[in-house]
């Protein structure tokens, strides 16, 4: 990372990644201010270790800041989080789409509301504990986002939707770390109590991971039952409500068939769950909307990219064509379980081109 000193507002979740980010920034000579966004509070939930929205998150972040001798603020962002993340999450499932709330949170909260707070505090930069890189690329004559050195932890998939204009003001202090163990060792060296804190694995506002229960409670309603059918319309049984299912799902179908069946489509109009054999999950094309691009490139003509249709998917060669603000993507090889509501993210080598939401 190039030498550029100044004041940095660091997003701190109380976890080891953001805590070590504070150490790295201090070692580099920045004036660091830590801030934790209060996003969500469920009075019924049990306290748990590792969640970015847990009761202990703010206290853990404050303790780290006290130990490192830096200021810490708590920012109340519950209203914005409700609107941009939770409401979007619930509405997506109600419309047979499978959302990714982390992408919305990064776009509107961590690099939206949080960035505005940084400006108010007269900070020069914002920083988070994400595994990604920001650097100036002579090839493109602009700041770009690149994949992390820690390949297995790379989080650029979740970051494609942030405003391009903010890129020059972002620092990812963990950009050159090779793996999580390296991060934990630095935390141990500084005697941080979060050195061995577990990573959060679930959606932060659904600690028991039961999203159906959460949505039913939020909407205070039940969902219509309907038929589980094959592509040709053959009825195999009844489903519990479309909200219980997503493309690629195998477990919990409750129907018998000579071969394993998977959800291949949800038909909201007919209230049907369409199922088929695994080979029916593979597609070579998709369309995406609400696209955001981080590079100033002419994308009016077809462009060769690699693309990911979900976070854990491997990058695959594809041709991207933009038409009327819709991305048309044709893959060299069929991709498994392309799912409406998820994001497709485009790369040029290790540089993030952009992405959009799968239709």
Note the pLDDT of residue 44.
55
Note the pLDDT of residue 5.
85
Which H/E stretch holds residue 322? strand 316-323
Which are the catalytic amino acids? 105, 204
* Dist. CA 356–CA 293, nearest whole Å: 9
Give the tens place of pLDDT for each residue, 47-58.
444 455 555 789
CATH code, 223-276 = 2.30.30.280
User: Parallel, antiparallel, or unpaired for β 170-171 and 226-230?
Assistant: unpaired
Residue with tokens 């696209």: 291
Average pLDDT, the chain: 93
Classify domain 282-358 at the CATH topology level.
Elongation Factor Tu (Ef-tu); domain 3 (2.40.30)
- The mean pLDDT of 291-316, rounded to a whole number, is 96
Residue 103 has pLDDT above 90, yes or no: yes
> What SS3 class is residue 270?
coil
- Give the phi and the psi of residue 134 in degrees, each rounded to 5: -125, 130
Residues 126/7, Cβ–Cβ less than 8 Å: no
Residues 7/28, Cβ–Cβ less than 8 Å: no
* Dist. CA 336–CA 323, nearest whole Å: 24
Residue ranges of domains in the chain: 7-189, 223-276, 282-358
Nearest Cα neighbor of 171 from 9, 334, 352, 322 is 9
User: Domain 7-189 has what CATH class?
Assistant: alpha beta
* Dist. CA 150–CA 271, nearest whole Å: 43
Q: pTM for the full model?
A: 0.93
Residue with tokens 């694995």: 201
- The mean pLDDT of 179-190, rounded to a whole number, is 95
Residues 205/86, Cβ–Cβ less than 8 Å: yes
User: Parallel, antiparallel, or unpaired for β 282-293 and 326-336?
Assistant: antiparallel
Residue with tokens 């048309």: 328
Residue 4 has pLDDT above 70, yes or no: no
- The mean pLDDT of 260-289, rounded to a whole number, is 98
């Amino acid at each position: 990372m190039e030498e550029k000193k100044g004041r940095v507002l660091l997003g701190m979740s109380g976890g080891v990644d953001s805590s070590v980010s504070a150490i790295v920034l201090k070692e580099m000579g920045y004036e660091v201010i830590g801030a934790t966004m209060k996003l969500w509070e469920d009075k019924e939930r049990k306290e748990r270790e590792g969640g970015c929205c847990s009761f202990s998150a703010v206290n853990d972040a404050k303790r780290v800041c006290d130990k490192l001798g830096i200021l810490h603020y708590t920012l109340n962002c519950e209203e914005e989080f409700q609107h941009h993340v939770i409401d979007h999450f619930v509405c997506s499932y109600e419309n047979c789409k499978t959302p990714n709330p982390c992408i919305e949170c990064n776009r509107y909260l961590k690099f939206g509301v949080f960035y505005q707070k940084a400006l108010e505090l007269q900070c020069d930069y914002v920083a988070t504990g994400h595994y990604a890189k920001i650097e100036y690329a002579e090839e493109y004559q602009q700041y770009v986002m690149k994949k992390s050195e820690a390949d297995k932890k790379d989080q650029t998939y979740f970051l494609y939707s942030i405003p391009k204009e903010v890129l020059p003001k972002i620092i990812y202090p963990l950009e050159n770390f090779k793996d999580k163990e390296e991060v934990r060792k630095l935390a141990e060296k500084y005697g941080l109590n979060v050195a061995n804190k577990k990573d959060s694995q679930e959606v932060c506002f659904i600690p028991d991971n039961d999203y159906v229960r959460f949505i039913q409670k939020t909407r205070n309603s039940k969902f219509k039952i309907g038929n589980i059918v094959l592509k040709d319309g053959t009825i195999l049984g009844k489903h519990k409500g479309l909200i219980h299912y997503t493309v690629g799902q195998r477990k919990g179908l409750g129907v018998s068939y000579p071969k394993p069946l998977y959800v291949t489509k949800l038909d909201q109009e007919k209230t049907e769950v369409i199922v088929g054999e695994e080979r029916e999950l593979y597609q070579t094309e998709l369309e995406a909307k609400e696209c955001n691009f981080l590079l100033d490139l002419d994308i009016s003509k077809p462009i060769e990219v690699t693309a990911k249709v979900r976070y854990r998917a491997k990058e695959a060669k594809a041709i991207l064509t933009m038409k009327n603000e819709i991305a048309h993507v044709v893959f060299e090889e069929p991709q498994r379980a392309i799912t409406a509501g998820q994001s497709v993210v485009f790369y040029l080598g290790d540089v993030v081109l952009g992405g959009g939401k799968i239709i």
